Structure 1
Amino acid sequence: MSNPTQSAHYGFAERWLPRLVLAPSFLLTILFVYGFIAWNGYLSFTSSRLLPNFEWAGLVQYQALFESERWWVAVKNLFIFGGLFIGGAMAVGIFLAILLDQKIRGEGALRTIYLYPMALSFIVTGTAWKWMLNPGLGLEKLMHDWGFANFTFDWLVNPDTSIYTVVIAAMWQSSGFVMALFLAGLRGIDDSIIKAAQIDGASLPRIYWKIILPALRPVFFSTLMILCHIAIKSFDLVMALTGGGPGFASDVPATFMYAMAFTRGQTGLGAASATMMLMTVAAIVVPYLYSELRGNRNA
């Protein structure tokens, strides 16, 4: 028979030991993640400039933020970049996934090639595309060397088009990731559904459009959340590719925040822009988490 004292000690250890092990990391997360989020939020209500100033100043920084032309350029660029990047990456990724789902020859090699850009950092991607799109080094110079003297592609140095070069580079890097997600979803669909539809006379494009893709709604939703998060917090790709320029023509909120807080000595204004970014991310993530928790509860 077991000793009651030993059983009590064992039960106590079994109950509290995991909590004690996780407690340090939990406390550090609370401090260095949520604590600094709260600290940033407070700074956005102060008149902090080069150094933090903890005197309450109300909505002064938010008023300055909304009156800043550069901020609205960054917001506009976020919508342009986010819309084209998410739509383009989804379209290319789904097309590649459907292509590979046909079990074509060399599928493994093609899948590796499509996924390779995801192995690169955004810094490497931005630097490589900066070389390729630079009029004096890349595509334009190559076409001129081949004899096409009238060919021009100056998007990188044109204030009206520089943000679209960021879209091109981001799509190139993320389309393979989207492909992997949708290919996994396609491989999880029963082949008998496709065969039954083909027996009924449905063409393959119609089967994908009417039956298979609607069945991948959870994959669509998860992919959309991930790409939205990437778009909102995009910083390193923009800095490596355009540096936010020419001027601030390709600024996005993340680069605006960095410029204000770390190069212009406007800590409070940078904190206000960071808080706005956090609220944007929360507006996307919170409904997603709510739907997931509600689905798990109903299940």
Structure 2
Amino acid sequence: MTLTVEPSTPVRRHASLADRARAFLPKIVLAPSFALILFFVYGFILWTLYLSFTNSRILPIYELVGFDSYVRLWSQPNWHMAIKNLAIFGSLYIFFCIALGLLLAILLDQRIRGEGVLRPIFLYPMALSFIVTGTAWKWFLNPGLGLERAMHQLGWTSFKFDWLISTDMAIYTVVIAGVWQASGFVMAMFLAGLRGIDGEIIKAAQIDGASTFSIYRRIIIPLLRPAFLSAVIVLSHMAIKSYDLVIALTGGGPGNATELPSTFMYSYTFTRSQMAVGSASAVMMLMGVAAIMIPYLYSELREREK
């Protein structure tokens, strides 16, 4: 009787090498992108942080001078105006986007006729860039060629809507344009949350005699807490870094009536040749984003651990 020994060792070795190559291939593919992100995002964040502790002006100066640029930053009236405008714009922008987005989501959740047409119409503004949105609303709100002129041509000569050129009201035109663009995106978030709620819970509440208002107030809206939190995080981030919308719509004016931290950072870095002060304002914006993101990420990690 003859025994044959199968050459199993080389086959296993080749299989093991193939498995290792397959496991290592995604890392090789992602390595260039990871390196570029590491350099161009986090590398420049660290570089900006370093410049904020220097006395750089039109060109970088690498000699550290401490917190001098931060002292100069907080002594600038334009910076205080930018913080005030961010508080107005951010609070109104978040509130009206969430309120309008929730209302539209509840409307579409009723399975109304034409939902397939209305949903992309509401979402369409988010597909536009902020430059396009700002330019379109600039034309629409311009007293000389937009809404006010159209009303005058229709015979309503007493109609007046000059917020765009008013130092007191110009910031609210930025709110209007921002809400118009982002509310559809918030609607999509809430609609996804509404469609994910178990219908049996609602049916049980209806059998118990709960009114529609009570069902939404006591059951549905509390269940949408993750969608609310995500909307606030996304909108806060968008509000802090809003730049192109303001530049296209008002240019930061009239005067500095619509100055935001992002426009302040750009003007002081590239127009007024105060690179250190501009870098300090960028660091302050980064701290604002971090103050929003870190608690959110911490709460998410705690939820996963549970």
Place the TM-score, normalised by the shorter chain, in its bin: over 0.9
State the shift of 1:12 in Å. 4.5
Partner residue of 1:267? 275
SS at match of 2:171: helix
- 1:119 corresponds, among 112, 127, 131, to 127
2:258 aligned residue: 250
Which of residues 136, 156, 160 is equivalent to 1:152? 160
- In structure 2, stretches of 5+ residues that fail to align are 1-7
Distance 2:213 2:109 in 1: 13
Are residue 39 (structure 1) and residue 47 (structure 2) matched?
yes
1:21 CA drift (Å) = 3.2
Tell me which residue corresponds to 1:227: 235
Residue type of the alignment partner of 1:273: S
- Partners in 1 of 2:227 and 2:154 — Cα distance? 44
Aligned residues: 298
Cα distance in 2, alignment partners of residues 10 and 120 from structure 1:
46
Q: Counterpart of 2:32? A: 24
SS of residue in 2 equivalent to 1:148: coil
What CA distance in whole angstroms lies between the structure 2 residues aligned with 1:231 and 1:175? Answer: 13
> Over aligned residues, Cα RMSD in angstroms?
1.4
CA distance in 1, matches of 2:165, 2:25: 59
Shift of 1:268: 0.8
- Where does residue 291 of structure 1 map in the other structure? 299
Query: For residues 112 and 138 of structure 1, what CA distance do their matches in structure 2 show?
Result: 26
Q: Compared with structure 1, are the counterparts of its residues 193 and 138 closer, same or farther at alpha carbon in structure 2 (3 Å cutoff)?
A: same
Query: Cα gap change, 1:19/1:106 in structure 2, threshold over 3 Å: closer, same or farther?
Result: closer
**Distance apart, 1:23 and its partner CA:** 2.5
**Residues 74-101 of structure 1: CA deviation (Å, up to 9, x unaligned):** 0000010000000000000000000111
Deviation at 1:8, TM superposition (A): 5.3
User: Partner residue of 1:164?
Assistant: 172
Q: TM-score with structure 2 length normalisation? A: 0.94
Aligned mates of 1:186, 1:20 — CA distance in 2: 40
Structure 1 partner of 2:225: 217
Which segment is superposed worse, 126-135 or 16-25?
16-25
Could you say what secondary structure the match of 1:51 adopts?
coil
**Which amino acid is the alignment partner of residue 74 of structure 1?**
A
Equivalent residue for 1:131, pick from 132, 139, 145: 139
Structure 1 unaligned regions, length at least 5: none
Q: Deviations over 1:120-156 (max 9, x none)?
A: 1111110010011111111111111122222211110
**Cα deviations by residue, 1:53-78 (Å, 9 ceiling, x for unpaired):** 11111111100100000001000000
Match of 1:92 among 56, 77, 100: 100
Deviations 1:150-172 (A, max 9, x none): 22111100011100000000000
From the superposition, tell whether residues 41 and 186 of structure 1 become closer, same or farther in structure 2 (CA, over 3 Å): same
Distance 2:27 2:170 in 1: 51
Partner of 2:214: 206
Look up the SS of the partner of 2:168 in the other structure.
coil
Secondary structure at 2:53 match in 1: coil
Bigger drift between 22-31 and 238-247 goes to: 22-31
Distance (Å, rounded) in 2 between the aligned partners of 1:206 and 1:28: 52
Give, in whole Å, the separation in 2 of the partners of 1:173 and 1:218: 22
AA at the equivalent of 2:63: E
Which structure: larger Rg? 2
Q: Tell me, what secondary structure is at the counterpart of 1:83?
A: helix
Deviates more, 1:11-20 or 1:287-296: 11-20
Q: Distance in 1 between matches of 2:118 and 2:22?
A: 49
Give SS of 2:226's match. Answer: helix
Structure 1 position 109 matched with structure 2 position 117: yes
Q: Following TM superposition, by how much is the alpha carbon of 1:7 offset from its aligned partner in structure 2, in angstroms? A: 5.0
Distance of 1:282 and 1:227 partners within structure 2: 14
Q: Answer with 193-202 or 71-80: which moved more.
A: 193-202
Q: Match for residue 88 of structure 2?
A: 80
User: Of the candidates 171, 182, 203, which is equivalent to residue 190 of structure 2?
Assistant: 182
